[in-house]
Structure 1
Amino acid sequence: MSYDSAKAQFADWGIDTETAIERLKTIPISMHCWQGDDVVGFEQKTGASGGGIQATGNHPGRARTPDELRADLEFAYSMIPGSHRLNLHAMYLDTDETPDRDEIEYKHFAPWVDWAKEQGLGLDFNPTFFAHAKADDNLTLSHPDQGIRDFWVEHGQRTREIAARMGAELGTICVNNIWVPDGYKDTPVDRMAARRRLEASIDQMIDPSQDRAHMRDAVESKLFGIGVEACTVGSHEFYMGYSMKNDTVLCLDMGHFHPTENVADKLSAASLFVDEILLHVSRPMRWDSDHVILQSDDVLQIAQELVASDLLDRTYIGLDFFDATISRTAAWVIGTRNMQKALLRALLMPLDRLRPAEDALDFTERFVVTEELKDLPFGQVWDEFCARMSCPSGLHLINQLEDYQGSVSGR
């Protein structure tokens, strides 16, 4: 079937495929650097991953240097239609120096900014509160030791300065996302004390003002992690309240909630009380295992909620998965394209027909229409989008992914 035939079929439903394609072109996805090297980073002072973070598998081709990681990223972006971003963690500095986390400066990340300019990418940033001796207790900003807290506050302040400089250099807002692994393996006696320390530490960390035209603070919750099964200090309720009170971006990570919770359902609820949301799109399997995302119901519902609730301009879409059992570049490419496919499917929904039906309590109409839509030739619209953006699809994509993996397997 040709694109023109598919376009005509969608038009019969009152859906303009051209409008959907043009809108999709404008939606950037922030692709995460840590899929490319299994969350190892490039610090000279290294430690175990920690914080409940673990990449499993030993597939050949892991990036071992910033240059190798950038080469892999360049290939991945060439396979992904549209203009996108890179989400960088503070442990991915590019320097011959050996600064500790509380000593990092913009100069240690300048090569990433220069590269981003060349590639036409925006950058996002994250302080790294794990894989460090001062995080061995699974307590950082909420640690009872003032000296430990001061160390991590300084680290966070420096990442905010670096993120603001990145945003200024690239002319685009850099989201600096705060996630800490803090919690307790067994039931604590005084949760309140830990949460008061966390609140005070973040207050201190984000107190120095940064230009919001260049940088936004985001805060990210988690249900639990390895070693913090009984209590996570930075729970969803904690950060929801903190974001509302302090006007930060609220990060919702799809892997950080109970398996029966629907993160898509949280978007419209949270957006009534916070101005902006950061999404970390992932695929948990029994826990926060961060599998590569599929075109699953969870991801499709996220995209539908963003479109139907008119939240695209208030939401930063980022990815957060890491799988070392498969080609790391293929994981990036397929995962990012699946997020785009979900958005395209959402943009191809006849909302002008579905909304009135729902308002009229005609749930039969809503049910029938949403099911019949699944049979429309979405694939032809996606292929047309890829072709217009000079990106491969289908077998051609698979061949290019296999060829590149073959070129890096000897690492």
Structure 2
Amino acid sequence: MSDSKNVEQAYQLARERYAELGVDTDEAMDRLSKIPISLHCWQGDDVGGFENTGSGLDGGLAVTGNYPGKARTPDELRTDLEKTLSLIPGKHRLNLHAIYLDAKAKVPRNELEPEQFATWVQWAKANGLGMDFNGTYFSHPKADSGFTLSSADDDIRQFWIEHGICCRKIGAHMGKELGTLCVTNVWIPDGYKDIPIDRLAPRQRLADSLDEIFAEKIDPTVHLDAVESKLFGIGAESYTVGSHEFYMGYATSRQVLLCLDAGHYHPTEIISDKISSVLMFVPQLLLHVSRPVRWDSDHVVILDDELRAIAQELVRSGKLDKVHIGLDFFDASINRIAAWVIGTRCMIKALLIALLEPTDRLRQAEADGDFTSRLAMLEELKTLPYGAVWDYYCARSDVPVGPAWLADAKAYEKNVLAKRA
């Protein structure tokens, strides 16, 4: 029997199993096909970008590994992304950082304009992709002090305010040109290595800076703003200005999006448990899905318990339309294309598993106080053949089924990546 017939046969059996619980697998796949994941450009070149300022990666960020074949130019990065997207089911997005401009001459970050990202927009349009954007508040001489938007130096602070304003205009341009709204995110590395005396003043300056950046109103159908917290970074172990409490208060009071990054909390904290609470007070959420190992180490996303819990909460809450899902990891110890594919396919797979739950039935059992049935059904679901549905979803999306994508990625490595110096 051919592989396609095996996939079809396995799917029909799985479809019947799920139907017994009142789950329509075809409907689940249809819903899944409409959920875009925003792939982060920085996995392709280890957060290097194409600005060429001469500054190395800093701001509490570090990339481990030196696997050969990283992208050296915007064209190489776009080619790598095309290969990656060809191995992933569904239609997705690109999440771009400001240092990934495509320009012939050096442009100061506080003078960036949409024209420096025109080739990216053209490429996204040609590939039917939406785009998201991020200001780059690190790896720059004006970030060497460890402070940007919260700096006590007026000139430094103003430079980064101007950068933030530029980024919003670029994001709005992307949203307008591509016909799908762009989320522009703000994350800064500001903080102290050792214990500070004044914790308040930097946060007051940060709030004022953000207010100035967000002062101009932009059509929410083309652009949304997000702010992202962090627990600590290298060189800012004792105090981070943009803490969760700061940004939760800021996002709530200003009604902008809050970005929850899976690695930006204490080791015992998980963002799956924060989603329902945060969505009560902010209009929408941005997720940066990553995998912390002991700290914010940005490992490649795998199908672990927390990833499944994040997807379950998005589906069970009924708030999928209020959440923008992006990825944020960078692993230079393995093939970078494979890292993208593994992480993105796992995110999509987790969403499929969540969509295959009989959510209404589980919710009713809970409402009836029938916790026995709730627990029993949740455990039975763990061994249902979601893998057969996943394989069928990949097949109908015309992407490799199962591990077949790996051979394609390795061939690309041999024929393309290995030839890069």
- TM-score normalised by structure 2 residue count: 0.96
Quote the residue 1:56 is aligned against: 64
Question: Residue 365 of structure 1: CA displacement?
Answer: 1.8
* TM-fit CA distance, 1:355: 0.9
Tell me the CA shift for residue 13 of structure 1: 1.5
2:380 maps to 1:372: yes
Q: Does 1:91 align with 2:87?
A: no
CA distance in 1, matches of 2:359, 2:219: 37
Instruction: List alignment gaps of at least 5 residues for structure 2.
Output: 1-8
Q: Specify the alignment match of 1:325 in structure 2.
A: 333
Separation of aligned partners in 2, 1:163 and 1:301 = 30
Distance 1:189 1:79 in 2: 51
Tell me the CA shift for residue 65 of structure 1. Answer: 0.4
Q: Give the equivalent residue in structure 2 for 1:65.
A: 73
Q: Distance in 1 between matches of 2:180 and 2:63?
A: 31
* Residue in 2 that maps onto 1:261: 269
Distance 2:69 2:340 in 1: 14
1:248-296 CA distances to partner (integer Å, 9 max, x unpaired)? 1110000101110121010000001111000000000011100001100
Shift of 1:358: 1.7
Shift of 1:401: 1.6
**2:193 alignment counterpart:** 185
- Distance in 2, matches of 1:302 and 1:46, equals 38
Matched, 1:247 2:251: no
Query: Residues 45 and 100 of structure 1 are in contact (CA less than 8 Å); yes or no, is this contact kept in structure 2?
Result: no
Match of 1:345 among 353, 373, 391: 353
Counterparts in 2 of 1:109-128, with a 5 A limit? 109-128=117-136
Structure 2 residue 148 is the aligned partner of structure 1 residue 140: yes
Equivalent of residue 204 in structure 1, options 212, 222, 226: 212
Deviation at 1:150, TM superposition (A): 0.3
User: In the alignment, which of 396, 415, 418 is matched to residue 409 of structure 1?
Assistant: 418
Aligned equivalent of 2:181, options 173, 176, 182: 173
Q: Name the aligned partner's letter for residue 203 of structure 2.
A: R
Distance 2:403 2:246 in 1: 47
Q: One-letter code of the match for 1:238?
A: F
**What residue ranges of structure 1 are gaps of 5+ in the alignment?**
none
For the residues of structure 2 that align with 1:221 and 1:138, how far apart are their CA atoms? 16
Secondary structure in 2 aligned to 1:137?
coil
Question: Matches of 2:285 and 2:150 in 1, distance apart?
Answer: 24
Name which of structure 1's ranges 319-328 and 208-217 shifts more when overlaid on structure 2.
208-217
Within the alignment, does 1:289 sit opposite 2:290 as a pair?
no
Please say if 1:16 is aligned against 2:29.
no
Alpha-carbon distance, 1:57 to partner: 0.3
Q: Kindly indicate whether the alpha-carbon contact (under 8 Å) linking 1:60 and 1:410 is maintained by their aligned counterparts in 2.
A: no
- Residues 214-271 of structure 1 show CA distances to partners (whole Å, capped at 9, x for unaligned) of 1111000001111111111001111111111111111000010111012101000000
- The 3-state SS of whatever aligns with 1:155 is helix
Amino acid at match of 1:36: G
Matched, 1:235 2:221: no
What is the TM-score with the length of structure 1 in the denominator? 0.99
Q: SS in structure 2 opposite 1:87?
A: strand
Structure 2 residue 393 is matched with structure 1 residue 385: yes
Aligned pairs, number: 411
State the alpha-carbon separation in 2 of the partners of residues 387 and 380 from structure 1.
11
Does the CA contact (< 8 Å) of 1:243 and 1:250 recur in 2?
yes
The CA deviation string for residues 294-337 of structure 1, in whole angstroms up to 9 with x for no partner, is 10000000000000001100000000000000010011011001
Q: Which residue of 2 aligns with 1:301?
A: 309
Amino acid paired to 2:308: L
8 Å CA contact 1:142, 1:201 repeated in 2: yes
Secondary structure at the aligned position of 1:317 is classed as: strand
Task: Indicate whether 1:359 and 2:367 are aligned.
Answer: yes
Could you tell me which amino acid in structure 2 is paired with residue 101 of structure 1? R
Q: Distance in 2 between matches of 1:195 and 1:5?
A: 57
SS in 1 for 2:299: coil
The alpha-carbon deviation at position 209 of structure 1 amounts to: 1.8
Which 4+ residue blocks in structure 1 deviate beyond 6 angstroms? none
Could you tell me how far apart the structure 2 residues matched to 1:59 and 1:347 are?
Answer: 36
1:352: how far off?
Answer: 2.1
Q: Which amino acid aligns with 2:54?
A: T
1:107 counterpart = 2:115: yes
Residue of structure 2 equivalent to 1:334: 342
Q: What are the superposed Cα offsets for residues 75-110 of structure 1, whole Å, 9 maximum, x if unpaired? A: 000111111000000000001110111111111110
| Counterpart code for 1:410 | K
Query: Which residue type is aligned with residue 151 of structure 1?
Result: F
Q: Percent identity?
A: 57
